[in-house]
Amino acid sequence: MTIENLSSNKSFDGWHKQYRHQSDSLGCAMRFAIYLPPQVSNGQRVPVLYWLSGLTCTDENFMNKAGAHRVAAELGIAIVAPDTSPRGEDIPDDDSYDLGQGAGFYVNASESPWNQHYHMYDYVLNELPALIESVFPVTDQRSIAGHSMGGHGALVLALRNSDRYQSVSAFSPISNPVNCPWGKKAFTAYLGKDTSRWADYDASMLLRESRRFVPALVDQGDADNFLTEQLHPEALMTAAEITNYPLELNFRQGYDHSYYFISSFIESHLRFHQKHLFKE
């Protein structure tokens, strides 16, 4: 696969790099960022944490704001952050911030005009890891994490593919999208009006049926402006109780939906993933 290096910056003796490549899944050029910890300079192959960002974000938000490089360098974990949707002049879009470019919702769209390009689920699950593992000095040990819309995506991907991920974590995930305005709008557009098809992309509904467990960590700020209307962590808690799922869900007093919240607790998430990525 051909990829183009767009930028390189040394960080905590590792390297943060941005790349562009042509995606078969999405039918357009896609950009991603990767942090390679210093261990790769010594010939080591390292595991990968995939980070999925939220509405309106790109590959840059997490890498620039989360403060994750220091701990990733210590632990020897690579971090890969894809964009949140296909982009380009010929890619369908919408005037609102919560649909179209920047709002892929990590689904495989089945409805026109979205179904030609909006296959972020396949891209994150299959195409991007295949690219990363063929080009960079990494192992096939993967974990996945995300924020808001990306937290939804991370949970869904892990719950549906327990053999592919060692662990999953999320900050402020959209936990029950079939029952919130963001989810209803996106799923109607991308998946159609038949709501029975939406369950495949709802973490709370998937968790209710789960029989193979991926260790999961969720942090939610109790001062989050979107908590009541959009996020519904209580649905996730109820589902975990039904199946005795190994979910650790923390409510963090006074924290909101921003990257101030993420940067405050990203170290604990990275150390959580490290325990599972390096498990014998």
> Catalytic positions, please?
148, 224, 257
Going along 184-224, which residue ranges are E strands? 216-221
Alpha-carbon distance 183 to 185, whole Å? 5
Q: Which of 152, 128, 136, 181 is nearest to 21 (CA)?
A: 128
Alpha-carbon distance 202 to 236, whole Å? 10
Q: CB of 240 within 8 A of CB of 213?
A: no
Helix (H, G, I), strand (E, B) or coil at 194: coil
Cα 57 to Cα 1, 54, 111, 130, distances in angstroms = 25, 6, 23, 23
Cα 246 to Cα 69, 71, 220, 229, distances in angstroms = 27, 25, 17, 26
How many C-alpha atoms does 254 have within 13 Å on its Cβ side? 2
Q: Tokens standing for 89?
A: 């002049």
Q: Which residue has the tokens 């960022």?
A: 33
Sequence-separated contacts (24+) of 189-196 with Cβ below 8 Å: 189/94, 189/99, 189/109, 189/111, 189/114, 190/105, 190/107, 190/109, 190/110, 190/111, 190/114, 190/118, 191/107, 191/109, 191/110, 191/111, 192/110, 192/111
